[in-house]
């Protein structure tokens, strides 16, 4: 009986720890998204968002716009666009994004397409393979502000020497759009960190 009580006690402490971590993690995500660490790097990695055969979504477009500005300002000479083939599409999100990237001033000669991923961790894992194949050692990660904390944690786990540069013009600008995004990022980051600790895959 004592062992059973001890077991439930440990479970209770774990649940309490997770509950208490929620507000701290949410605050960390929020404030981390205000930091821009842009510096000279070998490549810019644009994390994927939805795309359709007709073009990229506004969220993805804002990420590409920001990457294009960093590229034109000389922070990096190469850009990796990420995203595999979504359901209902015949082209990868990265290929669809490449057409928009060229329209906003990124040379096709400087574009690399990561076309295998469906989630953020895969965006970064497969981008690291492209970096290794081309001798790139450092990367600027571009995404929406509330996505940056999780992205940077995952980039580190993938072995990428990365610098955060969130989009200054995110489509998530009202509380009605920011709060669900923040909540989703909070529980996903906590879940990822727990899975990483217990070696149960990733997100």
**Cβ contact 160:120 at 8 Å:** no
Query: Tell me, what's the pLDDT at 100?
Result: 98
Q: Domain limits of the chain?
A: 34-188
Query: Tell me, what's the pLDDT at 177?
Result: 74
Give the homologous superfamily in CATH for domain 34-188: HUPs (3.40.50.620)
Closest-CA residue to 108 (of 122, 90, 95, 124): 95
Evaluate the CA torsion angle 139, 145, 147, 152 in order and state its sign: positive
Q: How far apart are CA 131 and CA 42, in angstroms?
A: 9
Q: How far apart are CA 135 and CA 142, in angstroms?
A: 20
Q: How far apart are CA 170 and CA 177, in angstroms?
A: 11
From the centroid of its chain, how far is CA 89? 22
Query: Tell me, what's the pLDDT at 15?
Result: 66
Which residues of the chain are under the pLDDT cut of 50? 1-2, 202
pLDDT digits (tens, 9 = 90+) for 74-126: 999 999 999 999 988 999 999 999 999 999 999 999 999 999 999 999 999 99
């Amino acid at each position: 009986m004592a062992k059973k009580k001890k077991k439930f006690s440990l479970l209770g402490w774990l649940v309490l720890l997770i509950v208490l971590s929620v507000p701290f993690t949410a605050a960390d995500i929020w404030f981390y998204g205000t930091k821009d660490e842009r510096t000279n790097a070998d490549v810019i990695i644009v994390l994927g968002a939805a795309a359709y055969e007709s073009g990229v979504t506004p969220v993805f477009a804002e990420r590409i716009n920001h990457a294009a500005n960093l590229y034109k300002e000389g922070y990096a000479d190469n850009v990796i666009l990420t995203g595999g083939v979504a359901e209902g599409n015949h082209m990868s999100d990265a290929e669809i994004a490449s057409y928009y990237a060229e329209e906003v001033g990124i040379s096709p000669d400087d574009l690399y397409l990561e076309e295998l991923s469906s989630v953020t961790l895969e965006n970064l894992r497969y981008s690291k393979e492209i970096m290794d194949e081309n001798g790139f050692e450092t990367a600027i990660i571009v995404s929406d502000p509330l996505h940056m904390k999780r992205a940077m944690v995952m980039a580190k786990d993938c072995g990428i020497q990365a610098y955060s540069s969130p989009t200054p013009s995110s489509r998530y600008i009202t509380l009605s759009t920011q709060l669900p995004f923040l909540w989703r990022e909070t529980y996903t980051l906590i879940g990822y960190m727990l899975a990483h600790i217990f070696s149960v895959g990733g997100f």
